[in-house]
A = this chain, B = another copy of it.
């Protein structure tokens, strides 16, 4: 199994640092931390662990349905977004996938596991890693079943415009190709769910959207993702799904969107304040090229000759900060790293450390 993002357990042991002292800039999650309602739900769910989780996740689906504004019949939940993507590939019996890259490596891994052929579409540094929708459409060839876009894209932090996506959806319709959008970070863009294509689910039966609770509510430990799409595809996915793959704690989170309005608002305020500020600070470092972020994480290129991403990662780790060595993303190399945007205080600590490790040796 590949390990993505930070493995703080390993790092803590390797560098002899306490897990609590580590600042994890390699995982792109909401720095506001675990919402209060999640804690409450966990406590009250503890006494219900002796029951199997609700296999149909009725309350959870209802909560998601109200949040996304799409009927429950169009929603499936899973053990993280990974399970959703896996089930989707299976249900659609995808044989050939067009995948703009660099992007999240789990898509390729799920595809390989299911023997889906991947055709990569390269997003180039000279385009600032923006997706060129026209070129993408031109690269669609006969026999392709689906396109998968991470939007905003990990690790480049770029968002495709809704106009661009609509053009793509119209074209895909004529080619009978499914368009899968992974919106795992959609709430962590400045436009929030305003950038989401969920509203178009009723209009395009070939559109499928993957989401997760992970990043937005800072609960990667809990495992909860969901998918929104055509109800016939959703029905097939439920049928293929392993029973009870969503644990009882995750099942209990149906009310989170209504109960955490203040949290969602605070999240938007933090992002508005900190993303641009942190980006501007990073831009002052001439040894790094900073790709303008549209979400809560930033792709950086090391401009210092002879300094590799793994070396830099090591230097940061010694100072108790985990960063993401981005060298293993398709089309990237050992000049790239990815970091999260966190709260002001942490970002300031990051700036002090980056100056130390890149300038003081």
A4 interfacial by beta-carbon distance below 8 Å: yes
Q: Interface residues of A toward B: which range?
A: 35 or more
Instruction: State whether A34 and B47 are in contact (beta carbons under 8 Å apart), knowing that A52-B27, A82-B242, A240-B113 are contacts in the complex.
Output: yes
Q: Is the interface of A mostly helix, strand, loop or mixed?
A: loop
A residues 66-101 near B (Cβ < 8 Å) are 79-80, 82-83, 86, 90
Residues in B with CB closer than 8 Å to A50 are: 29, 33-34, 218-221
Residues in B with CB closer than 8 Å to A80 are: 242, 244-245
Residues in B with CB closer than 8 Å to A238 are: 1
Residues in B with CB closer than 8 Å to A182 are: none
Query: Are B242 and A45 touching (Cβ within 8 A)?
Result: no
A residues 204-252 near B (Cβ < 8 Å) are 218-223, 238-245, 247-251
Most B Cβ at <10 Å: residue of A2, A27, A50, A218 = A50
Interface segment out of the listed A5-13, A141-149, A271-279, A351-359: A5-13
Residues of A within 8 A of B (CB): 1-10, 19, 24, 27, 29, 33-34, 38-39, 42, 45-56, 58, 79-80, 82-83, 86, 90, 106, 110, 113, 218-223, 238-245, 247-251
User: Which one of B2, B5, B51, B223 contacts A24 once the chains associate, using CB atoms below 8 Å?
Assistant: B51
Find the B residue at minimum CB distance from A219. B49
Query: Are A242 and B46 touching (Cβ within 8 A)?
Result: no
Query: Are A221 and B45 touching (Cβ within 8 A)?
Result: yes
Most B Cβ at <10 Å: residue of A47, A110, A218, A247 = A247
Query: Are B218 and A247 touching (Cβ within 8 A)?
Result: no
Query: Are B1 and A243 touching (Cβ within 8 A)?
Result: yes
User: Which one of B5, B46, B54, B82 contacts A42 once the chains associate, using CB atoms below 8 Å?
Assistant: B46
Residues in B with CB closer than 8 Å to A248 are: 221-222
Find the B residue at minimum CB distance from A90. B113
Instruction: State whether A220 and B244 are in contact (beta carbons under 8 Å apart), knowing that A24-B51, A55-B7 are contacts in the complex.
Output: yes
Find the B residue at minimum CB distance from A106. B243
